Amino acid sequence: MALYDKRRRRNKIAMGLSLTATLFGLAWLVLILGVLLWEGFSGLSLAVFTQMTPPPGSAGGLLNPIMGSLIMTAIAVAIGTPLGILAGTYMAEYGRHDKLTEVVRFINDILLSAPSIVIGLFIYEVMVAQMGHFSGWAGAVALAVIVVPVVVRTTEDMLILVPDTLREAAASIGLPRSLMIRKIAYRAARAGMVTGVLLAVARVSGETAPLLFTALNNQFWSLNLNAPVASLPVVIYQFALSPYSDWQKLAWTGALIITLAVLALSIIARTLAAQGKSS
Amino acid sequence: MPSTRRRPVVDVALQGVAAEISERSDRADVIQRLRRGDVAFRWMTRLAAVLVLVILGGIIVALVRGSWPALRHFGLNFLVQESWNPVTNKFGALAPVYGTILTSLIAMLIAVPCGLLIAIFLTELCPMWLRRPIGVAIELLAGIPSIIYGIWGLFVLAPFLQQHVQPFIIDLFGNIPVLSDLFAGPPYGIGVLTAGLILAIMVLPFITSISRDVFDAVPPVLKEAAYGLGCTTWEVWRYVVLPFTRVGVIGGVMLGLGRALGETMAVTFVIGNAHRISPSLFAPGTTISATIANEFTEAVGDLYTSSLIALGLILFVITFIVLAAARLMLMRLNARVGR
């Protein structure tokens, strides 16, 4: 009976701990989001979206960094998505069992969680150092390097889920393989592939480290991608570490905007993926 | 047309391009063209796949090339030297490497037990209707960009620790020999311990979601058999689930470790950026990524820049090894589960 009690007690303790840990983990989420909403919403106004970043001590908004982030993210996705989809296609459709796919999958998984600051250094070396100046293009390419592995991974996963019977049906009526992939497999896996792209956008829109020394920062309105371009995360970084309280306020507001955008993207991605699975 | 059985090839394949090709085109031509398109597409996908490898190769080559001046100038001393002095042009990686490893270690000490416990909760205890919401919440936590953790750590966590937690701990351990050194010094708020804490919060969702997936992969028969023998939930987890999934759990933990080692923004805000190795966990320190983020754009002189890139190379090598090991372990588990 003593042993029985001991086992039950141990079980109770372990389960109690696991409940506590869950509450602990959720508490952080609530704390972080709570403070973010509290600090961010109080600074949110129309001016944030219509005015430039101010010099310290005066009012202003975040228009130029928001634009910069949007443009660089768009270019990064435009470069990274086709490459990622093609690579994922090879892995799922042509070389599902060959050596190259195995190696690429392994390396891709490593790139997926490689430190983003190292990617910044890489682009600095190959673009900024060669061109002699910081530029929006360099920032966009750095982000594209982050987009590729995310898209490769989801594309491959989603194409593998497409039933082989569809492919066989297409092949049996004489459809060439490339057309079968583009017209049948892509269509069947579309929801999942879009999810991958959305997740990549979410991932990229919060990235700061790779932009620090590629796109740098810009106090002024500039859409010239051959010059330094402001981006929301970098501005948040600069403003949060500054001693000026109105800059810090803007940093919180910017943080709120990014977080809401990222959360919205990942929720949309999730619902899309769920729909894709159920249909 | 004699060969009606070949008609579908052309009709189906050319839905979109039919108008352009039209009647005058010879069927053989069309098929030729399709074949060429097929080959071209195949090669495009193959090239894109190879590109992934090229990116990795490019990263390594660029980092080695960039760090070459520093590595040649300092040799292996770069790894063991503590001083980091832009004025005298003396650079050593010891302090950042030490900081990187120490903060990640603190993070793992907190996040691993927590993450596993949450995964146990999610797979064994949690009522079905709550599983999805909590799982999603934890994955959302993983999606929050690291800069948010950083700004939150700087403005919320650090002041809180400085005012309420650190003075208390300093008083508490002040007279105990080893601990008084570990928790010495003025409560700055920012420092190695705070950075470790923030990292722990960041890594927690990764470890949780991977362990949950891994625990879910255990065949229910095994668990049911153990429950049938009268095992408690804890015993089922400890003696059935854990042994079965050990490789996967270690893989997940190392994946989290890889993230913690390379994390930049969350750490840069709260580490304090001091190039020294202090025994106290409350003292400011630095990590590889924080050093690069802070100093790269302000670095003057080739040797300074090159030393920073060399730090990046060290970081890449460390994380590459950790992540590769993690992936190999997860692959081994998947092979065993037969997925």
Tell me, what's the pLDDT at B22? Answer: 54
* pLDDT confidence band for B321 (50 / 70 / 90): very high
Pairing of strands B90-91, B84-85: antiparallel
Instruction: Please name every residue paired with A216 in a beta bridge, in sequence order, or none if there are none.
Output: none
Q: What is the distance in angstroms between the Cα of A110 and the nearest Cα belonging to chain B?
A: 6
A51 at the B interface (CB within 8 A)? no
Residue B170 has pLDDT above 70, yes or no: yes
Tell me, what's the pLDDT at A277? Answer: 62
Mutation to test the A interface, candidates B64, B148, B156, B270, most A Cβ within 10 Å: B148
Contact A118 B59 (CB under 8 A): yes
Interface pTM, i.e. ipTM? 0.91
Q: Who among A25, A181, A233 is closest to B138 (CB)?
A: A25
pLDDT in tens, chain A (279 residues): 788 889 999 999 999 999 999 998 889 888 998 999 998 888 888 888 888 888 887 888 899 999 999 999 999 999 999 999 999 999 999 988 899 999 999 999 999 989 999 999 999 999 998 888 899 999 999 999 999 999 999 999 999 999 999 999 988 988 889 989 998 999 999 888 998 999 999 999 889 999 998 888 888 877 788 888 999 999 999 999 888 888 998 999 999 999 999 999 988 988 887 776 655
Tell me, what's the pLDDT at A37? Answer: 92
Tell me, what's the pLDDT at B194? Answer: 92
Least confident span in B75-84, B167-176, B272-281, B284-293: B167-176
Q: Distances in Å between the alpha carbon of B278 and those of A138, B109, B181?
A: 38, 20, 9
Mean pLDDT score across all residues of chain B: 86
Q: Who among A24, A122, A233 is closest to B63 (CB)?
A: A122
Show residues of chain A in contact with B38, CB under 8 Å.
Answer: 176-179
Contact A117 B201 (CB under 8 A): no
Handedness of CA B227, B232, B233, B235 (dihedral sign): negative
> First CA to last CA across chain A, in angstroms?
54
Contact B58, A122 (CB under 8 A): yes
Mutation to test the B interface, candidates A9, A26, A118, A157, most B Cβ within 10 Å: A118
User: CA-to-CA distance for A194 and A85, rounded, in angstroms?
Assistant: 10
What one-character-per-residue DSSP string does A153-194 give? Answer: HHHHHHHHHS-HHHHHHHHHTT--HHHIIIIIIHHHTHHHHH
* H/E run at residue A204: helix A190-205
User: Tell me: the pLDDT tens digits for B111-145?
Assistant: 999 999 999 999 988 888 888 888 888 888 888 89
Residue B174: count of CB within 10 angstroms of its CB:
11
Residue of B nearest to A133 (CA): B297
Tell me, what's the pLDDT at B24? Answer: 54
A238 at the B interface (CB within 8 A)? no
Q: b or e along A80-117 (b: 16 or more beta carbons within 10 Å of the residue's beta carbon)?
A: bbebbbbbbbbbbbbbeeeeebeebbbbbbbbbbbbbb
Residue of A nearest to B151 (CA): A240
Contact B140 A95 (CB under 8 A): no
Show residues of chain B in contact with A14, CB under 8 Å.
Answer: 120, 233-234, 237
User: CA-to-CA distance for B122 and B169, rounded, in angstroms?
Assistant: 33
CB interface of A with B, residues 2-31, below 8 Å: 7-8, 10-11, 14-15, 17-22, 24-26, 28-29, 31
User: Tell me: the pLDDT tens digits for B40-81?
Assistant: 999 999 999 999 999 999 999 999 999 999 999 998 888 888
Q: b or e along A176-195 (b: 16 or more beta carbons within 10 Å of the residue's beta carbon)?
A: bbbbbbebbbbebbebbbbb
Show residues of chain B in contact with A152, CB under 8 Å.
Answer: 52
Show residues of chain B in contact with A108, CB under 8 Å.
Answer: 52
Tell me, what's the pLDDT at B5? Answer: 46
Contact B12 A175 (CB under 8 A): yes
CB interface of B with A, residues 218-237, below 8 Å: 232-235, 237
Residue B1 has pLDDT above 50, yes or no: no
Contact A108 B52 (CB under 8 A): yes
A117 at the B interface (CB within 8 A)? yes
Q: What is the distance in angstroms between the Cα of A170 and the nearest Cα belonging to chain B?
A: 9
CB interface of B with A, residues 126-155, below 8 Å: 126, 134, 136-141, 143-152, 154-155
* pLDDT confidence band for B4 (50 / 70 / 90): very low
Tell me, what's the pLDDT at A58? Answer: 81
A108 at the B interface (CB within 8 A)? yes
Tell me, what's the pLDDT at B113? Answer: 94
Contact A44, A111 (CB under 8 A): no
A241 at the B interface (CB within 8 A)? yes
Residue of B nearest to A84 (CA): B48
Tell me, what's the pLDDT at B13? Answer: 55
CB interface of A with B, residues 160-199, below 8 Å: 173-179, 181-183
Contact A93 B147 (CB under 8 A): no
Q: What is the distance in angstroms between the Cα of B175 and the nearest Cα belonging to chain A?
A: 31
A156 at the B interface (CB within 8 A)? no
B259 at the A interface (CB within 8 A)? yes
Tell me, what's the pLDDT at A259? Answer: 93
Contact B117 A21 (CB under 8 A): yes
Residue B336 has pLDDT above 80, yes or no: no
Contact B13 A148 (CB under 8 A): no
Residue B175 has pLDDT above 80, yes or no: no
Interacting residues of B327 by C-beta distance below 8 A, sequence separation 6+ = A106, A109, A110, B251, B255
User: CA-to-CA distance for B17 and B14, rounded, in angstroms?
Assistant: 5
